[in-house]
Amino acid sequence: MAACDSKKFDRRFVLQAAGLGSVLAAASFAYPIRASANTDAAYPADAFKQKGEAEAVKKLFGQAAVASDKVKLDAPEIAENGAVVPISVSTDLPDVTSIAILVAENPSALAALYKFAPGTPPSVASRLKMAKTTPVIAVVEAGGKLYSATKEVKVTVGGCGG
Amino acid sequence: MPSTIRVRASAGAEQTDVQSLIQHPMDSGYVKDAKGELIPAHYIETVTFEHGGKVVFTAFWGPAVSKDPYLKFKFSGGKKGDDLKVTWTDNLGKTDSSVSKLG
Amino acid sequence: MKALLAPAAGLALALSIAIPGIADAWAAEMVDPKADLKTFQAYFYEKFPNVKHEDFVNGPYSMDEGMRKQWEEKEEFPPYDFAIEKGKELFETPFKNGKTFADCFENGGIGVRQNFPRFDLKLGEVVTLEYAVNRCLTENGETPYSYVKDEMAAVTAYMASTSRGKPFAIDVPNDPRALAAYEAGKQYFYTRRGQLNFSCASCHVQNPGNRIRAEVLAPALGITAALPIYRSEWGGMGTATRRYMSCNSQVRGTPLAPDDELYRDVDYFLSFMSNGLPISGPGARP
C-alpha cells in the first residue's frame, strides 16, 4: 500500500492553496481543441498517465472546466471500503459527448472516461478505487465546453489496489 | 469457459437501461502479493456497447476502476429482443465480447 | 473478568472456567440453548429498537445509512453473482462416479441451507454446510475443497441463493454431544483472545453499529445468515470459515486451522442464535 500513498506533496499543496476550481481553470492553456469526442475515439493513454487531475483534464480536452450545479455527482461521504466506491454522474446539460471522473489523490487522477453517442442520455454509474480521502471530480463535456462538480470522499480503508 | 460478461438490459418506452458486470482482476500495479512482489498492472482499458450496428456508449478505464467492474448507463431507442453487443479489451491485449438480448 | 453482556452466556462461561475439571459435565447439565436464544435475541432487539428484526441479517448495513446506500448500489449487480454462477455449475457437474452434490442433500440440496449447521447423531458432530459439501466430495471419491474460498465459497453461495428468505431452522437435539458442541461454540464466541484481548462478542455483541477504525461492526445476531460473503477487503468471496479466521486475525490472534471443529461449533452456536431470521446469503460486505 505504500506505493499507493506516496503522493507528490507539491500538487496537494497547490490544490489546497488555490482551490480546485481555479486549478482546473488554470489548466486552460492554448492546446489544440480536439474534434468533438465520439465513441470510436482511441484509448487516451496519455491522460491516464497524468498524476494530477488538472493535467489529465488538459490532456483529454485541452481546456478547463467551470464548476456547474448542472453536473450531478453522487458519491458517498464515507467510503465503506476504498476498493469499491460507487460513483455516479448525470447532467441535464444538452449535447454531452463525454464524462470524465477523476480521483485527485490516486497515483494517477483520471479513473474513467465515458463517451456518449448522440442521443445517449448522459448518465453513468461505476465503482472506483480510492487510495485515501480525496476530492472526486466529475467533468462533463457538453457542446464543446467543460463543466465540473467536486465532492470529497472520506476513505479510511484505502483501496487503491483492490 | 463461461463468459466474463454479465449484462442486464431492459428496453423501456424511451430508453434502455443497461447494467453490466465484467469478471476481471483490474490489478492496479501498486499492490504486492503474499511474497511481497508487485502484481503487474492488468486492467480493462476499453469497453464498448453496440446496438443496431452502432456504438452507443464507450468506457475508457484506468487501473482505478474496481475489480469485477460494474457499469450502469442508458441509451435511446432499443426494443425488446434487440441485440446488445459488449466488448472489452485490456492492457495486455486480452479481449472478450458477448451479445445479449434486450429484455 | 469483565462482565459479558449476554447475561446467561456470561454466567455459563464464568462457571465453566471456574470449575475446569468438571466443566463438561456441568456444562451439559446447565446448557439451555432455548433460554440462551431468547436472551440473545431480546438483547439485540432491545439495543436496536429501530432495526427491523429481519434486517439484522444485513449486518452493518442495518445500522448505518451511508453504508446502506453503498450496499444497495452494490446489490443492483452484486459482486458475488459470478460465484453463484460458478457454484451452480460445480453443483450440477457430475462427479467421476456420476453422482452429484444433489445426491448428498435433502431436496437435492435446493433450499436447504437454512437447516445448516445440524447435529448429526450418527457422526456425533456438528455438520456445517461447508463440512457437508466436503463430506459429499470425499464420500464420492473426490478431493475436498479448501474451507476458505474459491470452490467452497461458490458452492455454498449457490446453495444459499436457493434458500434466500427462508428462516434459519437450527436444532440442538437433547443429546449430550450436541449440547457439548453447542456449548463449545458458545464458549469460543465469548472467550477473549489475541493481542487486543477481544472476544467475538466484544465486537459483535457489545459494539455492533460502532466503528472500529473505518468498519461498522456487524451484529452477531443474523451474522451467519449472510454467509458466504464477497468482501471488498478480500477482493473476493470467502466462506464462513474464512470469516471466523479473519475475526481471529483482526484481534491479532492466531486463527485455528480451517477445518478445526471449533469453527463448526461456533457456526452452530451463532446460527442457532439466529433462528427464525431469513437467509440473506450470499452477501456483500466491506
What is the pLDDT, as a whole number, of residue A156?
Answer: 83
C43-47, Cβ contacts within 8 angstroms, sequence gap of 24 or more: C43/C5, C43/C6, C43/C205, C44/C208, C44/C219, C44/C220, C44/C221, C47/C208
Which of C79, C85, C236 is nearest residue B2 as measured by Cβ atoms?
C85
User: Is residue A162 included in any domain, yes or no?
Assistant: no
Please list every residue in chain B whose beta carbon sits closer than 8 Å to the beta carbon of residue A88.
72
Q: Is the pLDDT of residue C273 over 70?
A: yes
C211: pLDDT confidence band, cut at 50, 70 and 90? confident
Radius of gyration of chain A (CA): 15
Taking an 8 Å cut-off on Cβ atoms, the answer to whether C69 and A77 are in contact is no
Instruction: Give the type of residue at B100.
Output: S
What is the pLDDT, as a whole number, of residue A6?
Answer: 36
> CB-based contacts of A159: which residues, under 8 Å, 6+ apart?
A79, A81, A82, A83, A84, A85, A129, A130, A131, B66, C232
Where b means 16+ CB within 10 Å and e means fewer, A103-134 reads bbbbbbbbbbbbbbbeebbbbbbbbbbbbbeb
Q: Is the pLDDT of residue C155 over 70?
A: yes
CA A92 to chain C, closest CA, distance in angstroms equals 22
CA B45 to chain C, closest CA, distance in angstroms equals 20
> Which tens digit of pLDDT belongs to each residue from C162-172?
999 999 999 99
Question: Cα(C30)–Cα(B66) distance, rounded to whole angstroms?
Answer: 50
Interface of C with A (CB under 8 A): 60, 66-67, 69-71, 73-74, 79, 213-216, 232-233, 235, 286
Q: What would the mean pLDDT of C37-53 be, rounded to a whole number?
A: 97
CB atoms within 10 A of CB B27: 21
Between these two residues, C271 and A28, which has the higher pLDDT value?
A: C271
Q: Is the pLDDT of residue C19 over 60?
A: no
Please list every residue in chain A whose beta carbon sits closer than 8 Å to the beta carbon of residue B27.
161-162
What is the phi/psi pair of residue C23, to 5°? -55, -45
Q: What grid cell was written down for A117?
A: 453517442
Q: What grid cell was written down for B71?
A: 457499469
Question: Cα(C226)–Cα(C278) distance, rounded to whole angstroms?
Answer: 9
Q: What would the mean pLDDT of C192-218 be, rounded to a whole number?
A: 91
Active site residues of C: 247
User: Is residue A62 included in any domain, yes or no?
Assistant: yes
What is the pLDDT, as a whole number, of residue B33?
Answer: 83
> Which tens digit of pLDDT belongs to each residue from C75-130?
999 999 999 999 999 999 999 999 999 999 999 999 999 999 999 999 999 999 99
- Provide ipTM, 2 decimals: 0.95
- A109 to chain B: closest CA residue: B64
What is the pLDDT, as a whole number, of residue C11?
Answer: 43
Mean pLDDT, consecutive 10-residue segments, chain B of 103 residues? 88 94 94 87 97 95 96 94 97 96 94
The least confident of A20-29, C60-69, C185-194 is A20-29
What domains are defined for chain C? 1-286 (1.10.760.10)
User: Is residue A106 included in any domain, yes or no?
Assistant: yes
Question: Cα(C253)–Cα(C230) distance, rounded to whole angstroms?
Answer: 23
Q: Which domain holds residue A139?
A: 2-155
**Domain positions in chain B:** 5-101
User: Is residue A108 included in any domain, yes or no?
Assistant: yes
Q: Mind giving me the DSSP string for C199-223?
A: -HHHHHTT-TTSEETTEEPPPSTTG
Please list every residue in chain B whose beta carbon sits closer than 8 Å to the beta carbon of residue C81.
6, 21
User: Is residue A160 included in any domain, yes or no?
Assistant: no
Hey, is the C-beta of A38 within 8 angstroms of any chain C C-beta? no
Please list every residue in chain C whose beta carbon sits closer than 8 Å to the beta carbon of residue A76.
66, 69-70
Q: What grid cell was written down for C216?
A: 461498522
Q: Mind giving me the DSSP string for C67-79?
A: HHHHHHHHHTS-T
What is the pLDDT, as a whole number, of residue A38?
Answer: 52
Taking every pair of C-alpha atoms in chain B, what is the biggest distance, in angstroms? 54
Question: Cα(C1)–Cα(C15) distance, rounded to whole angstroms?
Answer: 12
- In this structure, CATH architecture of domain B5-101: Sandwich (2.60)
Please give the share of chain C, as a percent, with pLDDT higher than 90. 84
Helix, strand counts (H, E) of chain C = 11, 7
Please give the share of chain C, as a percent, with pLDDT higher than 70. 90
User: Is residue A10 included in any domain, yes or no?
Assistant: yes
Sole residue written with cell 486492467: B43
Please list every residue in chain C whose beta carbon sits closer than 8 Å to the beta carbon of residue A162.
235
Which of B2, B67, B70 is nearest residue C77 as measured by Cβ atoms?
B70
Which of C70, C79, C213 is nearest residue A80 as measured by Cβ atoms?
C70
What is the pLDDT, as a whole number, of residue C90?
Answer: 98
CA B83 to chain A, closest CA, distance in angstroms equals 17
CA B56 to chain A, closest CA, distance in angstroms equals 5
What is the pLDDT, as a whole number, of residue C233?
Answer: 87
Q: What would the mean pLDDT of C34-38 be, rounded to a whole number?
A: 96
How many domains are there within chain A?
1
What is the pLDDT, as a whole number, of residue A7?
Answer: 37
Q: Mind giving me the DSSP string for C143-160?
A: PPPPSSSHHHHHHHHHHH
User: Is residue A111 included in any domain, yes or no?
Assistant: yes
- What percent helix, strand, coil does chain B show, rounded to 5? 0, 55, 45
User: Is residue A118 included in any domain, yes or no?
Assistant: yes
Please list every residue in chain B whose beta carbon sits closer than 8 Å to the beta carbon of residue A128.
64-66
Taking an 8 Å cut-off on Cβ atoms, the answer to whether B2 and C86 are in contact is yes
CB atoms within 10 A of CB C93: 9
A to C CB pairs, distance under 8 Å: 44
Coil, strand or helix at A79: strand
Taking an 8 Å cut-off on Cβ atoms, the answer to whether B72 and C82 are in contact is no
Query: Contact partners of B by the rule of 3+ C-beta pairs under 8 A?
Result: A, C
In chain A, which stretches have pLDDT less than 70?
1-40, 158-162
What is the pLDDT, as a whole number, of residue B34?
Answer: 81
What is the pLDDT, as a whole number, of residue A20?
Answer: 43
